[in-house]
Every structure is written in C-alpha cells, then in structure tokens.
Structure 1
Amino acid sequence: MINVPVVIAGAGPVGMTLALDLAGRGVRTLIVERNATTTQHPKMDITNSRSMELFRALGVAEELRAVAVPPSHPFDVSWITDFTGVELHRFRYPSVDEIRCRIRDTNDGTQPLEPPMRVSQVVIEPALRAALEREPLVDLSFSTSFHGFEAGEEEVTVYLDDLKSGAREAVTCQYLVGCDGGGSQVRQILDIELEGQARVMDRFMTHFRSPEKALLQRWGIAWHYQSAFGTLIAQNDEDIWTLHSRFPHGDSSEIDPKILLRRFIGRDIAADVIVANRWTPHLLVARHYGQGRVFLAGDAAHQYIPTGGYGMNTGIGDATNLGWKLAAVIKGFAGSALLDSYEAERRPIGIRNCKAASDNNEIRRTIGALYTGQLYADGVEGDSARGQAAAEIARLGNLENEAWGIEHGFVYAESPVVMAESGARFTLDPAVYEPTTLPGARLPSTFLPDGSALFDRLGNWFTLLNFGSSSDVDYFIEAARDRQLELTILTINASDLNAIYEANLILVRPDQHVAWRGNGVSDSRFAGAILDRVLGRSQN
C-alpha cells in the first residue's frame, strides 16, 4: 500500500497551489484529478494582487504572468448598451506595468508587492501543472478518481480508481485535503452542510473564438464589457472571448449560443464556439472546513457568484494558510491546535467574501434595472436616458474591482494562534487597505533601503523583523533552536519604515501574516511562550 504524508483530491488551482506550498516546505503529496487534463472551461479570469503575492512567494509568479494578458493592457470595465450602440460609462484601471511603477513610487505600505493579473483558468492551470511536474515531492495523477476514504485517529486511507486501467488502489496518508470543487465528494462523505443561498441565478456561458476584435474592443481595450444582458470577458485581448449571459427559458440543450451572442453584441459576428453550457452560481460556505485529519479548501469550502473574483482567489488564501500548518505539524515542531486554527482563520474570510460577492451583485442588479426601452431610443429621449444611466452607473461605482480592503485588509483577529492585543480593534473598509501590523494582519509590503522587497527577504518559515535591540533577537533565536524551528532574522535599519511597522519586533508567519509584535521580550522563556502559542503548542 502506498503511503504519503498528504493526499489532495482535485488538481484545480487551489489543489495545485497547496501541493506547491507543501513541496516548498519539504512535504511529499499525491494530488489526484478525475479529469484527463486541466480544465477546458474558462471559469475565473482575474488573479488578484494578494494571490499574486502568494504565487511570488511560491516562485511561480513570473511563470504565470508569461501566459497572461500582456502587462501593458489595462483592467478597464465598461458598461454599454451593445456594440452597435454607445458606451455608457467606463471605469478605468491601470495596466500591470503602470501599477508596478505606482508600487515602486509609493513605498508607504499601502501597496501590494504584485499587481493583479488577467488570465483565464484554462491558461493558468497548465502553467501550474508544469510547475508541479518539476517538483520531485509532488506526484500528480490525472484520470484518477477519488471514491472514498476512511479516517482514523492516526491516518487516513484513501480509495482511488485509475480511470484508464480500471485498477483500484488504497493509499494511506496523514492528512487528506478536499480541493475537489463545489460538488466535493470529500465534503459529502464528511457530511458537512453548506450554508447560504443556492441557485442565486442561472447563467449561460459561451466561450468562443472571434477575429472581430475591432468590434468587440471598439471603444478601446476593456477587460469586461457589461450590460443588463451579460458580461463579455476579453480573455486574451485578441481573439478569445467569454460571454456570461442570462439563462433564457427552455431546455439548455436547445439553446443556440450564437443567438445569445447576437443579443448581447447587437448583431451577428464571426464566431467559433469553443464550449457553451448552463451554469448555476451559489452563495454558500461550508459549516466546517474539515474534520479530524481531513480538510476542505477552495470551492469545496465556499462557492460564490463571480462578482469580485473572490472564488479562486479565496481558495489560494486557503491553500497557503493550510499548507504551512500541515507542514509544521508533519515535521513535528507544531502542535495539533495549529491545524484547528485553519477553520478559525479562513471560515470568517469565506463568509465575509461571500457577503461581498452578494453586495457586488446587488450593485449590478441596480444598474441592470436602468436598461429600459428608453435607453435604446433615438433622439432627445434616448440621449437623456443614456445620460442619466451613465451618471447613475458612475455614482454606484465598481467596488467589485476596487475592493483593496477585501483583498489585503483582513485580520485573523480571533485566531487561537495569534498573539492578540488587549483592546485592539480593527474595522474593515472593503474599499480601503490601511497598512497595519496588528497581529493576524497581512504584513505591509515595502521596499528596503537596498531596493529589495521586504516580502522577498522573508524566510520559508517564521521571520523575526528587528527594528530594535539585538539582545531581544537572541532570546528568540534560543527559543526557536530549542523547538527545532527555522527562524529567519531580518534586521532593518530604515527610520522611514518605523512608522509603518509600528513595533521594534514583528514575528511573521510563513503566509506573510503577523503572528506577534512588541517592543521587546524579557528573556528566552518569554520568547518561547510566544512561539509555543503561534505554533499551536500552547493556548494559554
């Protein structure tokens, strides 16, 4: 019988990211996927800046950008009547290149280290697969069906079918992670319920190739062109497009995708349909993110409508939160309570992002109600209706693509493995990221005096940022050595950064979140108590 530390069910972006994270920390994984290859469906089309920071830490950011939309292209979102009519309002957003310049010029902790990235899941999955296939600690098995498991106190036995040969086998592991999508078998076997609203709407996706770029980008490059009838996504700004439209009444097998294209665009175009299907988005979060030695991540744990792009991006956060914790426990220097913190930290984020996606959708509904017959009228009546609609769209805004607080401003304030500060309060503004080193927060990103990025200087495990006394650092070094914990010490002499980081000492976790901060420790015993808490070895 095969034995491996971790089995991952599902080789989508979340499962593959988790495998990369574990491999980088020296843990072998088996990742199984029932499909013969990576997805043929476009699904997500934005990798946000927080996910790109995490991909950079995993060493694959540039590899992924190589298959994305060119970095000189903007992220504009445009509301239109149709492509034979008028553009009502355009929300303008800078390109990757422009964002990089802003990041370099604004070294005050408010900026991400990485810009977001426009890329389809059809494209990003093969790039992640290529990275995994270079990893000696990852066994990637497509055409392999997961059909059950038995979880005990010491191990999990996973049952697999080879869909090519028909062979069945059992694999034992220390931990199983279900990254197997919205219909997760892992979640169903655990009998974990989903909470929220199912079937929020019905949609029809038409993924197609068309040479009519001149028409489909007639007002200039836009990532999304939107109307009450759907959203057209420019997947590569050249010839690949995806239309998500309202699902018409009737049998989905009888729907002609080209009729839906004509309705949205305003006329017939030359188009080769690559894939077309009905899909039903939800607003659901699992009641629990695991049980015992079995965990859920990504769509297995939460399912959102796409307004805001929170689906895969929330899942990447799940993977990088769970990965280092599994590795730390497997390697023996963390306690089992560290794994309990996964649900305590990530489920509130799942719930928050679910609400944000719902709120964003309500804004879209409000804009959709502006699409009356008058909007398409000729003459003064039509001009007036279009002017009023344009003003209202501008007033309502586009928070779903401007939610910097949602992307970067979350704090694991209630985590059992974070050294919370008495009386500390954090209020999330979805639209604004306020840099803070409050324990549980993402560490603010800056550039150091030598030009290097602080995030690039963080160690593979915990990092102690030292803005103050070297003797205090020695206490942490001694405590880490006693616990066989790899601790990176980074001494920073930059007075202009002191106000951003707010303390002389900051203990940073492997996922770039602050575990503890303070201006000093009295001895190695005190430092050890801090390490025990953040490693789940002690909850006192």
Structure 2
Amino acid sequence: MIDVPVLISGAGPVGLTLALALSRLGVRSVLLNDRKETTRHPKLDVVNCRSMEIFRQLGLAERIRAAGNPLTANQYSAMAASASGPFYTVMADRHLIYQPVQQAQAIIRACRDGSLPLESMQRIAQMHLEPVLMAEVEADPNIELRMGWRLYGFEQGSTGVVAMAHEVDNGEAQQFFAQYLIGCDGPNSRVRNFLNIDYDGTRDLVGELFIIHLRSDEIAGLFPGNQPYWHTWLTRPGFAGLLVSPDASRNDYVLHRPFAPRPGESLESVIDAALGVKLNYQIVQSGPWRPQFLVARSFGRQRVFIAGDATHQFMPTGGLGMNTGVAEAHNLAWKLAACLAGWGGPKLLESYEAERLPVARRNRDHVKKCAAATFEAQMHSTDALLLDGPAGESARRAIGAEFERKVSRLYESLGIEIGYRYHGSPVIEADHASEPAYDEIRYTPTTWSGARLPSAFRDDGTAVFDQLPMDRFTLLAFNADADDYAPLQAAADECRVPLAVLPLHERHLAALYERRFVLVRPDQHVCWRGDSLPMDCHSLFNRLRGAR
C-alpha cells in the first residue's frame, strides 16, 4: 500500500493545477489518469484573466503564454456571413479582452484604480496547455504521476481514505492510503458517482450540436494580416455556426454548428459553407456533442472532494468550464495544506463547498444567458444581409449592432471572472458594511469580506499580488507600526496560522483598499478588514482557520 497525503484522480488541467498548487505548499500527491497522454484536440480555447492570475502565483503564467497565442496577436470576435465575409462587425477596441496580450498588459500596468485584473486572458488550446502543466508535474519531486491508471474504488475512514486503482493495460492493482482523495476526473467522474452525488440542472437543454476540428495553412489568409480572429460567429440565410481559432500562430481551427450534417451534406460542404471559399484543409476529428448546464449538488464528503468538470458541466459560451475548475483547485489546495499541517480546523474543508458551489451556480446562470444571447443574435438572419448597396449595408449594420449588444457579455464580464465573492462563508469574518454592487458584467473593486483583493501596483511598479505569499495569510497594514498590529500577530502565532505583514503607504492603495488593515487569505481573497483590530484576535483566527 502506498501512503500519500493527497490522491488525485484525473490529470486534466484542473487535476494538474491542483497537484502543482499542493506542491508549491509542500504537499506530496499521487496523480492518476486513465489516458496515457495529454489530449490531442483543442477543447478549451482560453485561459481567462483570473486563471492567469492563479497561474502567475504558481509561477506558470509566462510558460503558458509562450505556448499559446502570440502576445502581439489580436483577440477579436466578429460576426460575418462567412470567414471570407462580408463581416457585419468586429469587436476590437471596445474592451481590454480584445487587445493583444502585449497591449493589454500595458493597459493593466497603467491602471491605478483596481478595476482591471493583474493578468489579461490568454488564447490557448487545451492540447497546448496540458503539455505545459504536465511537464511541470513530471519535473516536480512532490508529485508522482501515473498515466494509464484508473481509480476503481475507495473507502473512507476517520483518518484517511483507502483507494484502489489499477493499470489500464495490464490490470496491475495498487492500494493507496491517502489522507484526502480529490476527484478531478471529468463529467463522468467515478469519484462523484461513488459518493452518489448527482448534478443539479436541466440536461440537454439545447440538444445536440456538432463540432469539426480541422487544420489549414490557408484560412489565416482570409483575415487581415494573416491573423485569424479568435471567434468568428457565422450567420446568413441557411447557415449558422462559429469558427474558433485557439491560436493565431498555428493552423488548428474548430467549427461549431447547431446540428450534424443533413442528408446530402458532407463535412467538406459544411466547412466550405463556413469559409465561403474553397480552401485546402485537413479534417482531424468531427462528431456530435451535448452541452450541459449542470452543477453537482455537493462538492464532497468528509475526506473526499471533487473539482473541475466533476463539479460542473457548462456550455463553453463564456469560457467558464476549465476556468471555474482552476479556481476550485486554487481554493481547495491551501485548505488541504492547512489541514495536513495541523492548523486547519474541521470547518476549513467544509468551506470549500460553501464557497465554491454558489460560484459554480452563478457561473452556470451566466453561461445560460450567454448561450441565449448567441442563439438570439444569430436568429435575425435575413436575405438583405447579402444584398449590395444601402439596403445590404443597413442590414449588416443592424445585425452587427445587435450582436455587439447581446454577445459582448460572453467576453466583457469581468464581474464574473474576478468579481465573485464568498458570501456567508463559515471561514470569513462577516463584513458589516453595505455590500457593493455585485454584477456579472461590470467589476466593482472592493475589499468587502469574501471578495478577491483588487489587483494594484505599488509606486515602484511592484504588483501587490506578487507580495502575497501563497503559503500564508497576509495582513496589509497602512501606515502602521508593529505595535499597532502586534495582537493580531500574536493571535496568529497562538493559533499556528502562518501570517505575513505587508506594510503599505501609497495613498492610491489606501483609497482602493478602504481600510487601515486588510487580511488576505492565501488564495488572494479578503477574509477580514477594519480600521482597528478586532476585540478578540484569537477568536478571529479560530474562525478563519475553521476551528469554530
């Protein structure tokens, strides 16, 4: 029997991220995966800004960017009759999200009001993201990776979990004793099924869609500067779909269509209709798929938890599938590490579900609205779209404006990506101030307890986030001496909670962070704030570590 602190089932992006986050916190893990290699298909096409902040904390942001879309390439979204035109609109300059990474990062560095993330999003296909994470895992002595191994059962006890796994090819069996088991094993999660946890939501809400993965060196030439747009939404009488370019420097494309080829249609005829011109290409894969809007009713029990697609299945409208899972791994990792280190109390791991399940539901509702917006925008196709002259121009302007009004929510929702808050968490001190706006689209920077700390830069250009250690809480202290926060430091020491102090003096940070003292968790979320210390600092830390 192999003894390991954490056993992780599933080595997709979320399982890999969890293992790496645990390792950064000094925790060993064994990572099991049915497949023997990383995926060969694009799957996701974006790592959003919050996930990039998390990967920055893990020291991986630059490696991911190097493997993805060039930093100078556009991130545009367009609507057109076909990839060769006519184009009704191109969303380019209206929001940070559409800017090339290089330009977006310059805008972020110039921002002083906390309204932007620390990192812009990154276009990258999952088949290029996974190898980056996998290489990091393979080089990490804290992680034992077993590709081609499948979990087939487990039993929980008061001190840990006995899990059984076998090698897929030869059936060799192995028992593991882990203090915690985490299922990152996808929509058909064995871990979730063993726990008898069902999904909440309506299955097959939009029915069956169709996807084609193709490769072509010629499609890029249809776009200005040979840079294919990130998303090109296609609509004209008799045709609707979406052409995705996960990476402008590579020749992979994904074509989505609302239904499979009809009788008399071939895959080639569907692609030709989408492109609007006959080009050379290679079809890599095609098939139907059923998008879902589901969230698990629970995120785990006792010493077994689930994350990623095991907890939720979202239609990719809004790009919140893997990105929600990365935030789940980020939330769970430090809590597991705290409990393994002995200072995390019994309510700390319970708070994982209390915090992340409402966010998953909020994200699902947002994705539903995004899906409805795309369907509605593509419904207004008329013959006038293809006319020459003023009538055609007017029709194209009208549908382009409708597209921007409705579909922009897929891309411009910083409120969803970085504005989520952990309402009512048992390990966050309740904030008695009125809650600021909590909008899906617009992000309101705030240090209201439970919110992600707004990202900002110090006078010397250092990012505040880069001064927040991921293995401890951080007290932001404005114009304070050590004596001013000594009781808080003493209480942390008594409760064995690791605490760093970051003295700050910048006026713009004092205004942004709203209170003289702001306590930030390892996952960059605010858990308490005040202009003076609480009356009972010891009681505060017992709440924050889940001991009461």
Give the structure-2-normalised TM-score.
Answer: 0.94
Q: Aligned equivalents of 2:262 and 2:272: distance in 1?
A: 18
Would the aligned equivalents of 1:468 and 1:505 in 2 still touch at CA under 8 Å? no
Would the aligned equivalents of 2:46 and 2:246 in 1 still touch at CA under 8 Å? no
Q: Equivalent residue for 1:303? A: 313
What secondary structure sits across from 2:144 in the alignment?
A: strand
Q: Equivalent residue for 1:434? A: 444
- What are the equivalent positions in structure 2 for 1:343-358 lying under 5 Å apart? 343-358=353-368
Q: Equivalent residue for 1:509? A: 521
Q: Equivalent residue for 1:224? A: 231
Q: Describe the shift of the 1:522–1:422 C-alpha distance in structure 2 as closer, same or farther (beyond 3 A).
A: closer
Q: Aligned equivalents of 1:454 and 1:360: distance in 2?
A: 33
Q: Equivalent residue for 2:14? A: 14
Would the aligned equivalents of 1:8 and 1:32 in 2 still touch at CA under 8 Å? yes
Once structures 1 and 2 are overlaid, which stretch shifts more, 418-427 or 137-146?
418-427
Would the aligned equivalents of 2:199 and 2:294 in 1 still touch at CA under 8 Å? yes
Q: CA deviation at 1:331?
A: 0.8
Q: CA deviation at 1:326?
A: 0.7
Structure 2 segments unaligned to the other structure (5+ residues)? 93-97
**Deviation digits for residues 490-514 of structure 1, max 9, x if unmatched?**
1011122111011111111000000
Would the aligned equivalents of 1:157 and 1:172 in 2 still touch at CA under 8 Å? yes
Would the aligned equivalents of 2:45 and 2:246 in 1 still touch at CA under 8 Å? yes
**Deviation digits for residues 163-186 of structure 1, max 9, x if unmatched?**
233201111111111111111111
Q: Equivalent residue for 1:473? A: 485
Q: CA deviation at 1:111?
A: 1.5
Would the aligned equivalents of 2:519 and 2:528 in 1 still touch at CA under 8 Å? yes
Q: Aligned equivalents of 1:165 and 1:55: distance in 2?
A: 36
Once structures 1 and 2 are overlaid, which stretch shifts more, 478-487 or 373-382?
373-382
Q: Equivalent residue for 2:329? A: 319
Would the aligned equivalents of 1:47 and 1:119 in 2 still touch at CA under 8 Å? yes
1:211 aligns with 2:217: yes
Q: Equivalent residue for 2:179? A: 174
Q: CA deviation at 1:390?
A: 2.3
1:293 aligns with 2:303: yes
Would the aligned equivalents of 2:370 and 2:407 in 1 still touch at CA under 8 Å? no
Letter in 2 for 1:533: R
Once structures 1 and 2 are overlaid, which stretch shifts more, 344-353 or 204-213?
204-213
Q: CA deviation at 1:473?
A: 2.0
Would the aligned equivalents of 2:475 and 2:520 in 1 still touch at CA under 8 Å? yes
Q: CA deviation at 1:427?
A: 3.1
Q: Aligned equivalents of 1:379 and 1:63: distance in 2?
A: 49
Structure 1 segments unaligned to the other structure (5+ residues)? none
Would the aligned equivalents of 1:468 and 1:519 in 2 still touch at CA under 8 Å? no
- What are the equivalent positions in structure 2 for 1:529-540 lying under 5 Å apart? 529-538=539-548
Q: Equivalent residue for 1:415? A: 425
What secondary structure sits across from 1:273 in the alignment?
A: strand
Letter in 2 for 1:406: I
Q: Aligned equivalents of 1:535 and 1:412: distance in 2?
A: 15
Give the structure-1-normalised TM-score.
Answer: 0.95
Letter in 2 for 1:155: G
Letter in 1 for 2:452: R
Q: Aligned equivalents of 1:342 and 1:163: distance in 2?
A: 32
Q: Describe the shift of the 1:522–1:38 C-alpha distance in structure 2 as closer, same or farther (beyond 3 A).
A: closer
Percentage of identical aligned residues: 39
Q: Aligned equivalents of 1:250 and 1:187: distance in 2?
A: 37
What secondary structure sits across from 2:454 in the alignment?
A: coil
Q: Aligned equivalents of 2:333 and 2:346: distance in 1?
A: 14
Q: CA deviation at 1:439?
A: 0.7
Would the aligned equivalents of 1:417 and 1:533 in 2 still touch at CA under 8 Å? yes
Would the aligned equivalents of 1:83 and 1:218 in 2 still touch at CA under 8 Å? no
Q: Aligned equivalents of 2:462 and 2:31: distance in 1?
A: 35
1:152 aligns with 2:164: no
Which of these residues, 410, 435, 448, is aligned with residue 425 of structure 1? 435
1:462 aligns with 2:469: no
Letter in 1 for 2:486: D
- What are the equivalent positions in structure 2 for 1:187-336 lying under 5 Å apart? 187-199=192-204, 200-217=206-223, 221-228=228-235, 229-238=240-249, 239-248=251-260, 256-336=266-346
Which of these residues, 162, 165, 172, is aligned with residue 167 of structure 2? 162
What secondary structure sits across from 1:520 in the alignment?
A: coil
Q: Aligned equivalents of 2:280 and 2:64: distance in 1?
A: 30
Equivalent pairs, count: 534
Would the aligned equivalents of 2:213 and 2:286 in 1 still touch at CA under 8 Å? yes
Q: CA deviation at 1:117?
A: 0.4
Would the aligned equivalents of 1:83 and 1:215 in 2 still touch at CA under 8 Å? no
Q: CA deviation at 1:381?
A: 4.8
Once structures 1 and 2 are overlaid, which stretch shifts more, 386-395 or 332-341?
386-395
Would the aligned equivalents of 1:16 and 1:132 in 2 still touch at CA under 8 Å? yes
